[in-house]
């Protein structure tokens, strides 16, 4: 990352719709229906602004969206947040962008009075690096919902409390 100019922004612009789609697809982790959900959340944020309940941080390298995180206060909670998406484009992985975005998310959540962040992910072997990332960044595996996404694909819920 030394020779690259990294900038972070929280505003969401129309071009982020395509950028998010391209990032999510580039990872090879997500089904078509999951890609559509990622895009719909960006569209909803643009349409409803803060009333959407979705907050974003985009990491750009030399002006190109390289990674993003989407999070928000869990409906009907006053102190707990969900981390909905954290995605680094395939060609930008292993540069510390995920860790940077997660740290910034935690800072924002704490500033807003949040006391915990919950993250859901799959138990499939493909997601082992994701699971390891959450553990390495201080999250604990708290809940396992067996066969949640499909047979032999559990939902894992990681939590970090402040």
Contact of 84 with 70, CB cutoff 8 Å? yes
pTM: 0.94
Task: Determine the pLDDT at residue 112.
Answer: 97
Contact of 43 with 69, CB cutoff 8 Å? no
Q: What's the rounded mean pLDDT across residues 104-122?
A: 98
3-state DSSP percent of the chain in helix, strand and coil, to 5:
40, 35, 25
- The CA distances from residue 79 to 13, 72, 98, 119, in Å, are 28, 11, 23, 15
Model confidence at 92: pLDDT above 90: yes
Model confidence at 159: pLDDT above 80: yes
Task: Determine the pLDDT at residue 2.
Answer: 46
Task: Give pLDDT tens digits for 35-73.
Answer: 999 999 999 999 998 899 999 999 999 999 999 999 999
Split at pLDDT 50, 70, 90, the class of 34 is very high
Task: Determine the pLDDT at residue 3.
Answer: 57
Task: Determine the pLDDT at residue 147.
Answer: 98
* Rounded-to-integer distance, Cα 69 and Cα 129, Å: 17
Model confidence at 115: pLDDT above 60: yes
b/e code 116-126 from CB counts within 10 Å (16+ = b): bbbbebbbbee
Task: Give pLDDT tens digits for 74-87.
Answer: 999 999 999 999 99
Model confidence at 137: pLDDT above 60: yes
Q: What's the rounded mean pLDDT across residues 116-127?
A: 97
Task: Determine the pLDDT at residue 50.
Answer: 87
Contact of 49 with 11, CB cutoff 8 Å? no
């Amino acid at each position: 990352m030394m020779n690259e100019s990294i900038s972070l922004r929280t505003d969401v612009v129309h071009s982020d719709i395509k950028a998010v789609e391209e990032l999510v697809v580039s990872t090879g982790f997500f089904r078509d229906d999951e890609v559509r959900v990622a895009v719909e959340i960006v569209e909803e944020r643009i349409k409803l602004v803060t009333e959407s309940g979705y907050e974003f941080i985009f990491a750009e390298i030399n002006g190109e969206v390289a990674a993003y995180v989407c999070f928000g206060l869990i409906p009907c909670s006053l102190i707990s947040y969900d981390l909905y998406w954290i995605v680094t484009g395939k060609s930008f992985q292993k540069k510390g962008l995920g860790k940077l975005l997660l740290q910034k998310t935690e800072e924002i959540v704490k500033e807003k009075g949040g006391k915990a962040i919950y993250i859901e992910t799959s138990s499939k072997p493909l997601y082992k690096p994701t699971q390891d990332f959450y553990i390495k960044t201080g999250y604990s595996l708290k809940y396992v919902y067996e066969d949640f996404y499909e047979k032999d694909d559990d939902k894992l819920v990681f939590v970090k409390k402040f």
